[in-house]
Amino acid sequence: MQEKIASLNEQFTQDLNQVQTTKDLEDLKVKYLGKKGPVQALMLDLKNAAPEERPSLGKKINELKVSFFDHIETRFAVLINKEESNRLSDEMIDITLPGRRRNRGSTHIITQIFDQVFTILKGMGFSVQYGPDIDSDYYNFESLNFPPDHPARDMQDTFYISEEMLLRTHTSNMQMRVMETETPPIRVISPGKCFRNETITSRHHVFFHQLEAFYIDKDVSFSELLATLDEFLQKLFHQDIKTRYRPSYFPFVEPGLEVDVSCVACNGSGCSLCKHTGWLEVAGAGMIHPNVLQNGNIDPEVYSGYAWGFGIERLAQIKYGIKDVRLFSENDLRFLNQFPST
């Protein structure tokens, strides 16, 4: 029995040396110390030993058992440590790797200009009303005093949908709609899309945006129109901008004006943006024609009004030095990303 104990100890030591993982160690423990293992077998064998040897043999078997436990425990501590640090290094996250930027959408530059313009004009007492993109000849032309043979009615300029219906060529189509439904004082701005049958180039597009503004009340004067435009343009561009008004013709205003601002790039001294004139054209404007007021059932003897219309792309071009109007509708992210919303 003594020998059996010694050889079991030796075998255990050998097996223990082979152990690589905690799993191997667990198997080893079951193998040697399990109920059907050799240590338990020795215990059962004890009854076959001479009675006087039993106590010392029993003690030896017990010592063997305790020593197995000790070895297993010591080894376990080493292995679990090793396995844990392996696992940690396998799972290590490289925190020095730069993050991936998420693409954030932003408001389109045209919407941004609209928002800036709304803020300024709302502060000056105007309220926003949206008009239809598809409208009748009456609201787009006839009620606005366009003579029947006016060139703007020509198929070259206007997209007709039927004899009577068309894609509006300007936001002035809202003037009559508002006059029909409201009584003065009227102070309205009307933003929106406009369409013209043009050849698409860097300077012209079939599709663009305008903002109409009009004010109708008793004693609205021409100088009030000029003062309001001056203030608006100074707020939109900068305080020192100069304005210039040139006589022009629009059927629905009298007198009619074209509005220029001093070039934002060269301050009026002449550059490529202003084609060396020192001035940039920004709007059409004028005093609402008495015929138009009459069409809207507003008595031109009692009331007067002014109106102006801006191209929004034009304002954006001037503000940011954009040369090609096609960029506004092509949805090229390389262009749009240059105008993050604030």
Select 37 or 290, whichever has its Cβ closest to ligand PHE.
290
At closest approach, how far in Å is the CB of 141 from ligand PHE?
Answer: 11
Select 173 or 262, whichever has its Cβ closest to ligand PHE.
173
Establish if 170 lies at the interface with ligand PHE (CB under 6 A): yes
For residue 262, count other CB atoms closer than 10 A to its CB: 19
Select 9 or 248, whichever has its Cβ closest to ligand PHE.
248
Scan residues 222-251 and list those touching ligand PHE (CB under 6 A): 250
Select 68 or 141, whichever has its Cβ closest to ligand PHE.
141
At closest approach, how far in Å is the CB of 261 from ligand PHE?
Answer: 16
At closest approach, how far in Å is the CB of 206 from ligand PHE?
Answer: 14
Q: Residues with Cβ < 8 Å from 326, sequence gap 6 or more? A: 200, 202, 205
Please tell me the distance from the alpha carbon of residue 138 to that of residue 210, in angstroms, as a whole number: 19
Q: Binding string to ligand PHE for residues 261 to 290, with x set by CB under 6 A, is what?
A: -----------------------xxx----
Tokens of 57: 């043999």
At closest approach, how far in Å is the CB of 178 from ligand PHE?
Answer: 13
Establish if 253 lies at the interface with ligand PHE (CB under 6 A): yes
Select 61 or 137, whichever has its Cβ closest to ligand PHE.
137
- Residue among 311, 330, 326, 342 at smallest CA distance from 114: 311
At closest approach, how far in Å is the CB of 327 from ligand PHE?
Answer: 21
Backbone region of residue 286 per phi and psi (left: phi > 0; alpha: psi in -120 to 50; beta: other values): left
Please tell me the distance from the alpha carbon of residue 161 to that of residue 279, in angstroms, as a whole number: 38
Among residues 38, 289, 309, 339, the one that binds ligand PHE under rule CB under 6 A: 309
Establish if 57 lies at the interface with ligand PHE (CB under 6 A): no
Backbone region of residue 323 per phi and psi (left: phi > 0; alpha: psi in -120 to 50; beta: other values): alpha
Establish if 131 lies at the interface with ligand PHE (CB under 6 A): no
Q: How many chain residues are in contact with ligand PHE, going by CB under 6 A?
A: 10
Select 232 or 250, whichever has its Cβ closest to ligand PHE.
250
Establish if 143 lies at the interface with ligand PHE (CB under 6 A): no
Select 28 or 189, whichever has its Cβ closest to ligand PHE.
189
Establish if 172 lies at the interface with ligand PHE (CB under 6 A): yes
Residues near ligand PHE (CB under 6 A) are 170, 172, 250, 253, 284-286, 307-309
